[in-house]
Amino acid sequence: MTEGGTTENARKPIRVAVAGASGYAGGEVLRLLLGHPSYADGSLVIGSLTAGGNAGSTLGEHHPHLLPLSSRVLEETTVEILSGHDVVFLGLPHGNSAQYAKLLPESTVIIDCGADFRL
């Protein structure tokens, strides 16, 4: 412990973005994140939620069961918005993930939930 009562290994929260948050895959990712122990203890923060044609609407219009996030407004999916996160989940339509993944910083963990390589 340090003098201020915090541990020297204290970490900043992991910031997570979900691209395609209004769709099925994005909604499932968010449901799982909301139930994760790291979300409950504050070590995981849900940052930007993006959508294509649904940008500007609230998440609750598409996923009313995700109450803690229902008032969040969906943003347009851009590399600039996604770049400020440690982890980016891509729940985008078939063939769209690669254009974002190749432009995100190398340090960003990318998890593609799209249909491109699903078995």
From the centroid of its chain, how far is CA 73?
Answer: 13
The confidence score (pLDDT) of residue 119 equals 62
The confidence score (pLDDT) of residue 1 equals 42
Q: Are 102 and 66 in contact (CB under 8 A)?
A: no
Query: Residue 22: CB partners within 8 Å, gap ≥ 6?
Result: 51, 54, 57, 59, 61, 62, 63, 74
The confidence score (pLDDT) of residue 114 equals 84
pLDDT in tens, 67-86: 999 999 999 999 999 999 99
Domains in the chain, ordered, with CATH? 14-112 (3.40.50.720)
The segments of the chain whose pLDDT lies below 70 read 1-9, 118-119
pTM over 0.85: yes
Classify 39 as helix, strand or coil. Answer: helix
Q: Are 33 and 65 in contact (CB under 8 A)?
A: no
The confidence score (pLDDT) of residue 2 equals 47
The confidence score (pLDDT) of residue 115 equals 78
The confidence score (pLDDT) of residue 85 equals 98
